[in-house]
Amino acid sequence: MRIGIDFDNTIAGYDALFAALAEERGLFQNARHSAPHGVLLGAPVGKKDLRDALRQRPEGELTWRRLQAEAYGGRMSDAELLDGVDRFVKACRQAGISLSIVSHKTQHANFASDGTDLRKAAIRWMEEHGFFDPAGLKFRPDDVFFADTRAAKVAKISDLNCNWFIDDLEEVFAEPGFPASARAVLYDPHGDVEAGSSGATDFLRCRHWDEIGGHVFGSHH
């Protein structure tokens, strides 16, 4: 069995980093201290809330793209390993399940000023978190794939014959060519509905990696 996993916001978490960047640029106050699932002192909570709030402003989309370029580039080292990822990966290794990381990530950001190679930044982050450590998460470099477009990402998922694919964007499951044979899992830590559908693809909605593990290993055994 092979499980494919997205990278940004599925393995690597950016909520705290985006909040820090927003504060540093004076975009919001108290962004790092907002209450969970709410708004405190006008500060949005989480990456998606921050994005939506910025897009309501003049040139907000441009501001958001610049924040993304910095977070995924020069500040990538400040991203966090999402809770439960390491436990899930180690359980897969013990069960003999193959893993691939498939990410829609261009090499350079259009709105980056420092020219950081986003793919190399992601690989460095994985190295720092033990992804390629034979005594750690045991990935090989050729287990990691970067695609320039969402369509290319879905084509790679199909080529790999993934039995499961885990992503934080349900649009991936709606992309033409997403393999019907792959069980789709939406990682949505703020969601409250267990199942859903996107286009012709049904998916499981999970709020935590331990929950994903329960589904995967429940079906595996």
Q: What is the pLDDT of residues 90-139, one digit of tens each?
A: 999 999 999 999 999 989 877 656 778 999 999 999 999 999 999 999 99
Among residues 78, 99, 117, which one ends one of the domains? 78
Total domains present in the chain: 2
Q: What is the pTM of this model?
A: 0.87
The pLDDT of residue 112: 58
Same domain, 69 and 103: no
Among residues 23, 47, 78, which one ends one of the domains? 78
Beta-sheet pairing, 80-81 with 12-13: antiparallel
Same domain, 125 and 203: yes
Same domain, 201 and 122: yes
- For 129, how many CA atoms within 13 A lie in the half-sphere containing its CB? 22
Same domain, 104 and 63: no
Helices within the chain (DSSP H only) = 15-24, 46-55, 60-72, 85-95, 118-128, 150-159, 170-174, 209-220
Task: Identify the CATH number of the domain in which residue 144 sits.
Answer: 3.40.50.1000
Same domain, 31 and 69: yes
Beta-sheet pairing, 2-5 with 98-104: parallel
Same domain, 58 and 105: no
Contact 153, 102 (CB under 8 A): yes
> What is the 3-state composition of the chain as percent helix, strand, coil, each rounded to the nearest 5?
40, 20, 40
Q: Which residue has the tokens 């180690």?
A: 90
Q: In the structure encoding, which two tokens stand for residue 9, read together?
A: 């916001």
Q: Mapping DSSP to helix (H, G, I), strand (E, B) and coil, where does residue 78 land? A: helix
Same domain, 148 and 193: yes
Same domain, 9 and 20: no
How confident is the model over 19-31, as pLDDT tens digits? Answer: 889 888 888 765 5
**What range does the domain containing 59 cover?**
15-78
Same domain, 41 and 64: yes
29 vs 170, which has greater pLDDT? 170
Contact 196, 202 (CB under 8 A): yes
Same domain, 22 and 124: no
Among residues 78, 100, 128, which one ends one of the domains? 78
pLDDT over 80 at 194, yes or no: no
Contact 103, 165 (CB under 8 A): no
Contact 3, 163 (CB under 8 A): yes
Same domain, 105 and 213: yes
Same domain, 158 and 63: no
